Structure 1
Amino acid sequence: MNDTRQSAEDLAILEQLNLDYNHSDQASDAKRFSEFLAEDFIVQTPGVTRNREEYLEYIAKPRPFKDLVLREFKIRILGDVALIHGRATYTMIANGADQEALYTDVYQKREGTWVCVSACAIAPGA
């Protein structure tokens, strides 16, 4: 398979994983997350670092926000690692405040499958 075709296929897979990540976050879908988070996954949000198990427990709880909308994202494939830089908006349930989040998710291709190994979000209130 040539690099162009592989890159296009990888790009499509990563784009879908990014959409799944955001949808699963809003829907508290820990089951879907468990399908694409690496066993050694680490996430950082303001003031908190969580491992895979801690994050799945956190995601399973009702989300403190609604109306999560992915505004833009950019995927950069660097060999067997990919970075997804994005921006999303959401509304806090408690007070109705509109917020914006910036995030970078890191995926690695392991045994032919892309898995999320790390995530970092600047996301007030989330």
Structure 2
Amino acid sequence: MNKDLEELTALNRDYVASVQNCDVKRFDEILAPEFYCSNPDKTLVDRAAFLEQTARPIAIRNLHEHDVVIRILGDFAIIHAATSYTTADGRYTDCWAKQNGKWLAVSAHVSR
């Protein structure tokens, strides 16, 4: 389980950094085909729409995660965390599934 925890910790950091840096390429690598995200504006977007919105520049700066709780439930994991950034604070919950030996994000929920 330590290997999974280390891998998920790194993926969580990549995920947050990809939001800050509009890194569509990295998201394309770590999002499952069935990925969905609940946005702060209450919209629900699928993988393709999430990648499109990620490509757009964002107004927030200095984004970082804290109070991270990673729960591993076999081949499924849930990450709860808080975020802080220059313009506001928020929370997120990401769900990850191990598919063919690789962790992929299957769901996200963001609030501000």
Q: TM-score, normalised by structure 2?
A: 0.96
Deviation (angstroms), 1:71: 2.0
Of 105, 108, 112, the match for 1:116: 105
Q: Secondary structure at the match of 1:65?
A: coil
User: After TM superposition, what 4+ stretches of structure 1 lie above 2 angstroms from structure 2?
Assistant: none
Structure 1 spans left out of the alignment, 5+ residues = 1-6, 93-98
Q: Aligned-residue CA RMSD in angstroms?
A: 0.8
Of 91, 102, 116, the match for 2:86: 91
Structure 1: how far apart are the matches of 2:75 and 2:86?
35
Q: TM-score, normalised by structure 1?
A: 0.85
Q: Taking every aligned residue pair, what percent have the same amino acid on both sides? A: 40
1:101 aligns with 2:90: yes
Q: Which residue of structure 2 aligns with residue 17 of structure 1?
A: 11
> How many aligned residue pairs are there?
111
Structure 2 spans left out of the alignment, 5+ residues = none
Structure 2: how far apart are the matches of 1:89 and 1:17?
18
Output one character per residue of 1:81-115: Cα deviation in whole Å (capped at 9) or x when no partner: 000000011123xxxxxx11111100000010000
